[in-house]
C-alpha cells in the first residue's frame, strides 16, 4: 500500500540545509515525534533554495555537500529524504540520493524538468504554483505520467492573493485529489508572506496550526511542514516555520481529527 492510499504521512524538516549537525539532530527529533504519533515520515531539507527574495539571501550548502548530508540522514535516521530540484540535469544527479524529488511551485509547469524527474522513477512531489488553479494540475500530472511514472504527490501551498499575500482554498485539496494521486497540504508555506519583509519573505506562524487542522478535516492525504529547532534564528523561512514542540502538538490534534473522520466513515 502506498503512502496516501489510506496511510496518512508527513513531509517535514528545516527549510534549507544549514549544517550537517543541525540537519541530523533535527531529523532525529522529528523522526521520534512522528514515530510517537505513528505517522510515516519523509525528511525534507533543501540543499539549494534557488528562488530567494534577494541575491544576498542564504541558499544552502549546494547540491554536492547537501546530498552527502541527506545520505547520512537516510543511513543514520533511517527515513526517506526529499529536496528541491531545479533543472533536468540536476534531477538525474539528485535521484542517486533522494527518495522524493520535489518540483518547486514556480517551476511546476517546466516540461523538461517534469519529464526528467519522472524518468528517474523516483516519487515526484509537485508544489502547485501560486499562480495556478487546482484543476490546472491535471496537465502537470499528464506530463509526469507520459514518462511511465505513477509515483506522484501534489502539494497545495496557497494561491497568490494581492501583494505579498497567499490564501489557502480548501476546495483545492478536493479538486486535486480527483487526479487519483495523494494530495499534501503545505501548512508552513501557506502562511508565508512572499517578499513581505522587503528583501526577505515574512510569514504568519500563528496560522499554521489552524490551517493545517482545516486541511486534514478537508481530507488531505499528508502534510508538508517546515520544522526548525529555532525558527526565529533560521536563515530561510523562519517566520513561517514551526518548532518540534509545535509539531508534536499539531500531530496530536491531527490524530484526533483523523480518528473522527474514520469514525464518521469519511476516510
Predicted pLDDT of residue 56:
64
Cell numbers for 173: 485539496
Q: Kindly report the length of the chain.
A: 267
9 SS3 class = strand
Cell numbers for 13: 524538516
138 SS3 class = helix
Predicted pLDDT of residue 39:
98
200 within domain boundaries: yes
- Tell me the CATH number at 99: 3.20.20.70
43 within domain boundaries: yes
222 within domain boundaries: yes
3 within domain boundaries: no
Predicted pLDDT of residue 74:
98
214 within domain boundaries: yes
2 within domain boundaries: no
| 142-168 core/surface letters (b: 16 or more CB in 10 A; e: else) | ebbeebebebbbbbbbbbeeeeeebeb
1 within domain boundaries: no
Alpha-carbon dihedral 174, 45, 164, 161, rounded to 10 degrees: -10
The range of the structural domain enclosing residue 24 comes to: 9-263
The label of the residue with cell 540545509 reads 17
Per-state percent for the chain, helix, strand, coil, to nearest 5: 40, 20, 40
Q: Could you list the mean pLDDT of each consecutive 10-residue stretch along the chain, which spans 267 residues?
A: 82 97 98 98 92 70 95 98 97 97 97 98 98 98 98 97 94 97 97 79 92 97 98 91 98 98 82
142 within domain boundaries: yes
Predicted pLDDT of residue 237:
85
98 SS3 class = coil
Total structural domains within the chain? 1
Amino acid at each position: 500500500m502506498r503512502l496516501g492510499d489510506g496511510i496518512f504521512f508527513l513531509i517535514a524538516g528545516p527549510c534549507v540545509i544549514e549544517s550537517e549537525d543541525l540537519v541530523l539532530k533535527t531529523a532525529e527529533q522529528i523522526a521520534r515525534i512522528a514515530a510517537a504519533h505513528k505517522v510515516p515520515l519523509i525528511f525534507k531539507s533543501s540543499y539549494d533554495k534557488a528562488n530567494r527574495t534577494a541575491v544576498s539571501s542564504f541558499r544552502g550548502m549546494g547540491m554536492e555537500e547537501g546530498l552527502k548530508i541527506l545520505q547520512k540522514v537516510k543511513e543514520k535516521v533511517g527515513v526517506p529524504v526529499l529536496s528541491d530540484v531545479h533543472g533536468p540535469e540536476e534531477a538525474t544527479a539528485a535521484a542517486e540520493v533522494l527518495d522524493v524529488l520535489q518540483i518547486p511551485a514556480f517551476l511546476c509547469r517546466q516540461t523538461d524538468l517534469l519529464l526528467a524527474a519522472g524518468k528517474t522513477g523516483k516519487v515526484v512531489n509537485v508544489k502547485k504554483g501560486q499562480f495556478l488553479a487546482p484543476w490546472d494540475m491535471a496537465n502537470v500530472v499528464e506530463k509526469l505520467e507520459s514518462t511511465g511514472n505513477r509515483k506522484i504527490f501534489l502539494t497545495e501551498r496557497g494561491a497568490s492573493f494581492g501583494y505579498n499575500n497567499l490564501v489557502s482554498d480548501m476546495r483545492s485539496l478536493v479538486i486535486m485529489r480527483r487526479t487519483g494521486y495523494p494530495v499534501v497540504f503545505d501548512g508552513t508555506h501557506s502562511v508565508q508572506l512572499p517578499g513581505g519583509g522587503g528583501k526577505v519573505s515574512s510569514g504568519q506562524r500563528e496560522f499554521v496550526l489552524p490551517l493545517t487542522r482545516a486541511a486534514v478535516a478537508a481530507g488531505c492525504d499528508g502534510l508538508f511542514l517546515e520544522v526548525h529547532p529555532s525558527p526565529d534564528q533560521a536563515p530561510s523561512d523562519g517566520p513561517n516555520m514551526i518548532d518540534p514542540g509545535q509539531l508534536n502538538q499539531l500531530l496530536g490534534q491531527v490524530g484526533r481529527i483523523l480518528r473522527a473522520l474514520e469514525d464518521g466513515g469519511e476516510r
